[in-house]
Chains A and B, each alone.
Chain A
């Protein structure tokens, strides 16, 4: 069965059509990277998959069932969402933040059980955040904070993890650290869909890459297949040389000339 199936998905913000018919079908757990120019609809696509936005037409199905047929709470048991790093001006501890990931399983008048606490501990250990569980989320570095948010999404025990530019604000060390973690998670049985700005990071860490342009899919497939000069040109209006990375033998893109 398909873990995720997107069928002729269209979405508009008012008059502006942002997604113009996207089809996608994923049968196995992997890391799928989404790349594309600013405004190409990457984030909107993620929010349609998560069920936060309602498509104008077309469907998103998770494990064979239309996402609109799940309740908001059910949705949160299948899909975890890691937002872009933003401003955090509240004093919650990291532990409190990760415990929020158990909300899809806790009824209104219940308090958290030992099982919830165990899962939170396990997710924090997996993301290497357990040792600062009592610290305020505000007093962390960008990389630490991102790991806490990943831990929270994992505590939801999702089948699909959506990440919107999780490494854009991070330095190169944290970028590699986070994306390595993401790849480990996928290999343990999770579909990860991650929006990335850096094409070469996508090439290095993703099993497949989806290239978007103006609300449509330009190409989707393994990095070696889709990271071509033509596709880069089409999606970013930039000319590029594609070489092979001496380290990983993956494609390495060197952009060099803007067409416009």
Chain B
């Protein structure tokens, strides 16, 4: 059992390395492995250096870290809400961010203002949903889910209206909402990677508590878990990680939903194993999706959200059918 688990980790990590190399190598200009090695050992020519160091590398790092963060948060939210449909966007983060981005685009903000706006509105939205769900000292997870859906629906309506009224910006808004890393710079990486990485790690230290909560909130409290504190910390950190991810990558759907599920089918429900595995799997998956988004209609870039759904959906269905007998559980 233990050996089998570590074998899965080794395989997942090797796949990640391969995809990472592929991601730096593929694109409008092919970069063979030897050229990549040359650049990293300081021998490469200038065009190669530019392509790899200022275009591909930040982009690859960002895609991997965003994929990791969304998957970790998805695993935690599914456990905390005890709902297999939960994903990082369940509290309205995505619609909050999309609304902020839409407003920024309509007002003609630059890329930095756009990201900042998306970040701020997504956190405001989460805070609003959270305060509605607070009953006395306790947070009702069911109310939270429903409030998230209601707030998302309302915001989507506002976004649609703004799109109708600002048709000239329609394609920019749609492109941003479907996500992508084509504009990622080192500045984005410097800001987002520490937040997502540290946030994910601190979340990981709550794995055991969320395991207990998965078997019931009351049960967990009787096992010595301060459930209200755990809920607050996980919701706050999860929201911070998600808002950061969305502000740099846009609303990339499906990653935070299916990567934890696929990982659960492979390594089981124990969050202490599931979370690190989801982290590697999510990073790999989004790196892969980013490569596909770049090359599938070369030289046109496809929004990455289309790729994650188009590849993730059928793959997930395949796993569900294959594991139909045990696939229903968390």
Contact A109–B205 (Cβ < 8 Å):
yes
Chain B residues contacting A50 (CB-CB under 8 Å) are: 222
Contact B269–A90 (Cβ < 8 Å):
yes
User: A89-B328, A90-B329, A92-B269 are known contacts. Are A104 and B218 too (CB-CB below 8 A)?
Assistant: no
Chain B residues contacting A86 (CB-CB under 8 Å) are: 216
User: A91-B269, A91-B326, A91-B329 are known contacts. Are A52 and B215 too (CB-CB below 8 A)?
Assistant: no
29 sampled A-B residue pairs with Cβ under 8 A: A47-B218, A52-B218, A52-B221, A72-B221, A75-B224, A76-B224, A77-B224, A79-B222, A80-B222, A81-B218, A83-B216, A83-B218, A83-B219, A86-B216, A89-B328, A89-B330, A91-B268, A91-B326, A91-B330, A92-B214, A92-B215, A96-B270, A100-B211, A100-B212, A103-B224, A104-B223, A106-B208, A156-B223, A156-B224
Contact A108–B215 (Cβ < 8 Å):
no
* Chain B proximity of A34: nearest CB distance (Å): 17
User: A83-B218, A103-B225 are known contacts. Are A108 and B328 too (CB-CB below 8 A)?
Assistant: no
Chain A residues contacting B222 (CB-CB under 8 Å) are: 50, 52, 76, 79-81, 83
CA distance A100 to B216 in the complex (A): 12
Contact A138–B223 (Cβ < 8 Å):
no
Known: A88-B215, A91-B329, A134-B1. 6 other contacts (CB 8 A): A50-B222, A96-B270, A100-B211, A103-B208, A103-B225, A156-B224
* Chain B proximity of A116: nearest CB distance (Å): 12
* Chain B proximity of A12: nearest CB distance (Å): 12
Chain B residues contacting A52 (CB-CB under 8 Å) are: 218, 221-222
Chain B residues contacting A97 (CB-CB under 8 Å) are: 215
Q: Contact flags (1/0) for B19-39 with A, using CB distance below 8 Å?
A: 000000000000000000000
CA distance A76 to B223 in the complex (A): 5
B166 at the interface (CB under 8 A from A): no
Q: Contact flags (1/0) for B200-235 with A, using CB distance below 8 Å?
A: 000001001001101110110111111000000000
User: A91-B330, A103-B212 are known contacts. Are A108 and B205 too (CB-CB below 8 A)?
Assistant: yes
A73 at the interface (CB under 8 A from B): yes
CA distance A100 to B221 in the complex (A): 12
CA distance A134 to B270 in the complex (A): 13
Residue of B nearest to A81 (CB): B222
Total of A-B residue pairs, C-beta within 8 Å: 73
Chain A residues contacting B225 (CB-CB under 8 Å) are: 72, 103
Contact B1–A90 (Cβ < 8 Å):
no
A101 at the interface (CB under 8 A from B): yes
* Chain B proximity of A111: nearest CB distance (Å): 8
Secondary structure at the A interface, as helix, strand, loop or mixed, is mixed
CA distance A96 to B215 in the complex (A): 11
Q: How many chain A residues have a CB neighbour from B under 8 Å?
A: 33
* Chain B proximity of A165: nearest CB distance (Å): 14
Contact B215–A81 (Cβ < 8 Å):
no
Chain A, 16-51, CB within 8 A of any chain B CB: 47, 50
CA distance A47 to B219 in the complex (A): 11
Chain A residues contacting B268 (CB-CB under 8 Å) are: 91-92
Chain A, 124-161, CB within 8 A of any chain B CB: 134, 136, 138, 152, 156
CA distance A90 to B326 in the complex (A): 10
Chain A residues contacting B329 (CB-CB under 8 Å) are: 89-91, 138
CA distance A89 to B326 in the complex (A): 10
Q: Contact flags (1/0) for B291-330 with A, using CB distance below 8 Å?
A: 0000000000000000000000000000000000010111
Contact A81–B226 (Cβ < 8 Å):
no
Chain B residues contacting A79 (CB-CB under 8 Å) are: 222
* Chain B proximity of A232: nearest CB distance (Å): 31
Q: Contact flags (1/0) for B261-298 with A, using CB distance below 8 Å?
A: 00010001110000000000000000000000000000
Chain B residues contacting A138 (CB-CB under 8 Å) are: 329
Chain B, 168-224, CB within 8 A of any chain A CB: 205, 208, 211-212, 214-216, 218-219, 221-224
Residue of B nearest to A105 (CB): B224
Task: List the 8 closest A-B pairs by CB distance, nearest first.
Answer: A76-B224, A81-B222, A104-B224, A73-B224, A90-B330, A89-B329, A103-B223, A91-B269
Residue of A nearest to B326 (CB): A91
Contact A100–B205 (Cβ < 8 Å):
no
Chain A, 145-181, CB within 8 A of any chain B CB: 152, 156
Chain B residues contacting A76 (CB-CB under 8 Å) are: 222-224
Chain B residues contacting A88 (CB-CB under 8 Å) are: 215
Contact A72–B212 (Cβ < 8 Å):
no
